[in-house]
Structure 1
Amino acid sequence: MKESVGQKKSQLTLLATILLGLGSMAAIDEIIFHQLLGWHHFVDVNSSALALASDGLLHTLELILLIGGGVLLLHLYEQKLYAKGYQSAGFLLGMGGFQLFDGIVTHKILGLHQVRYVDNLLLYDLGWNASGLLLLLIGFGLLRRAKRGLAASAS
């Protein structure tokens, strides 16, 4: 029974912090690359009104993820279901997952926008996707460490 409660705590903590990581990386993308640097919009089209509206949709999704993850995390704290050690793993998995999904699916498969509109896009693509992959690898390493800790405390 103790192991199933521990697994439930870890899964819920992971879910909450993955949502927070996804929302945070979406915010970083939108604030830095869309607004401050003006490199791209969520959907780059000839209409600036439509491009701006697409950024608004990304911002809405980001807020839903941040609020949902935050509410879930607060609930876990209140119910004493928070699994210490899983928060960093989930947060980095969410951030890396967003970054890599954005770089591969949004940029390349769907072609909604590019990282930046320059002649040599390869370095930007490599940097964008490498940063997402690095975040994912660190997140998976932290997750593995947290699972070892959970297994050790259950025995």
Structure 2
Amino acid sequence: MAIENGNQDNPNNKNRYAYSGRNSWSGALFGIGLAAFIDETIFHQLLRWHHFYDKSTTDIGLISDGLFHAFSWFATIAALFMFADLRRRNALWSTRWVGGMLLGAGGFQLYDGIIQHKLMQIHQIRYVENIFIYDLIWNALAILMITAGILAVRTQNRKQSGKTASHEHS
């Protein structure tokens, strides 16, 4: 993996700065794919708490799960192609990539918890009397991932701007 320190004028670091956005997008896509994969595997298949689309028959629910599973793998594979390209270009910025991954996973989970569960009501986390605790934990974990992702990216941005400023004054 690329070295996390050094200034922007270092030839080994120029690609990382030029491709910083791609690092974030690759991480975000991977996070979306990973969160969707975990949701599908644990909550849809192993625990059988719900399907992606629960407003129809079980067969339709299973088909929707298959399409959802395919989406998660497309996102993951696209992210890994971008990741490999970043490594090939010596442009992988692991802190920014992990920050993007946390933002993608948390963003996906918060979207799922608010839009799909509550607004669209296409499924719930679990069909029980008191769903509040499930919603609270689901959305709190999403907010924690988003916060951790923001902190990772902001910390890296501060390191980057600090090195650039100190380099200009030296």
TM-score (norm 1): 0.93
Partner amino acid, structure 2, of 1:128: W
The answer to whether structure 1 residue 94 and structure 2 residue 104 are counterparts is yes
Query: For residue 18 of structure 1, what is the aligned residue in structure 2?
Result: 28
More helix by share: 1
Please give the root-mean-square deviation of Cα atoms over the aligned residues, in Å.
1.6
| Residue deviations 1:64-93 (CA, integer Å, cap 9, x gap) | 100000000100110122223212211111
Kindly report which structure 2 residues correspond to 1:103-118, keeping only aligned pairs within 5 A, or say none: 103-118=113-128
Give unpaired runs (5+ residues) of structure 1.
none
Give 2:61's match in structure 1, choosing from 43, 51, 56. 51
Equivalent-residue separation in structure 1 for 2:47 and 2:119 (angstroms): 24
Query: For residue 81 of structure 1, what is the aligned residue in structure 2?
Result: 91
| Residue deviations 1:11-60 (CA, integer Å, cap 9, x gap) | 11000011000000000000000000000000003411100000011101
From the CA coordinates, give the structure whose radius of gyration is larger.
Answer: 2
Name the count of aligned residue pairs: 154
The offset of 1:7, in angstroms, is 4.4
Partner amino acid, structure 2, of 1:153: K
The answer to whether structure 1 residue 131 and structure 2 residue 129 are counterparts is no
Give the stretch that moved more between structures: 121-130 or 81-90.
81-90
Equivalent-residue separation in structure 2 for 1:30 and 1:117 (angstroms): 16
Partner amino acid, structure 1, of 2:53: V
Q: Which runs of 4+ in 1 moved over 2 A?
A: 2-8, 152-155
Equivalent-residue separation in structure 2 for 1:55 and 1:153 (angstroms): 47
The offset of 1:10, in angstroms, is 1.4
Query: For residue 151 of structure 1, what is the aligned residue in structure 2?
Result: 161
Specify the SS of the correspondent of 2:65: helix
Query: For residue 65 of structure 1, what is the aligned residue in structure 2?
Result: 75
Structure 2 vs 1, CA of residues 127 and 113 (structure 1 numbering), >3 Å: closer, same or farther?
A: same
Q: Is the 8 A contact 1:6 1:150 kept in 2?
A: no
Q: Is the 8 A contact 2:15 2:89 kept in 1?
A: no
TM-score (norm 2): 0.85
Specify the SS of the correspondent of 1:85: helix
